[in-house]
Amino acid sequence: MRRRWLAGAAPASAADPSVTSGLQLKISGFIGWQSTLVLSDSQHDDFDRDYDFQTNARLIFDVKNVTDTGLEYGGRIRFDSVNRRDDVNITRLYTYLKGGFGTLTFGDAPTVADDIGYVYVHDELVGDMGAGAMNFGELLDGDFPVGGGNFYSINATYLAGLTNQDTRIKYTSPTFDGFSFAVDFTPVVGGADHAGNGGRNDLFDDDETYYENVVTGGVNYEDTFGDWSVRGAATAAYGAGIQTSASGANPGGHDLEVYTLGGQVGYQGIWASVNWTHNEQLAASDKPVDTIIGDVSYRWGDYLASLSYAYTWAEKNNGLESEYTSGEDLKDNHIVGANVTYTLAPGLNTYAQVIYEKQNFRQGADFENANLITGIILGF
Chain segment 258-311, per-residue pLDDT in tens: 999 999 999 999 999 999 999 999 999 999 999 999 999 999 999 999 999 999
Strand partners, 172: 103, 182
Over residues 38-62, mean pLDDT: 92
Q: In the chain, pLDDT over 90 holds for what percent of residues?
A: 79
Handedness of CA 275, 280, 286, 288 (dihedral sign): positive
Helices (H), the chain: 112-115, 121-128
Question: What is the per-residue DSSP string for 152-173?
Answer: --SSTTSTT---SSS-EEEEEP
Q: Check residue 364 and give its pLDDT.
A: 95
Closest CA to 299 of 136, 134, 127, 178: 127
Q: Check residue 204 and give its pLDDT.
A: 87
Euclidean distance between CA atoms 131 and 138, whole angstroms: 9
Q: Check residue 18 and give its pLDDT.
A: 52
The distance from CA 263 to its chain's CA centroid, rounded to whole angstroms, is: 17
Over residues 180-208, mean pLDDT: 84
Q: b/e map of 143-168 (b: 16 or more CB within 10 Å)? A: bbbbbbbbbbbbbbbbbbbbbbbbbb
- Contact between 165 and 171 (Cβ < 8 Å): no
Q: Check residue 195 and give its pLDDT.
A: 65
- Contact between 318 and 280 (Cβ < 8 Å): no
Q: Check residue 303 and give its pLDDT.
A: 97
The reported pTM is: 0.89
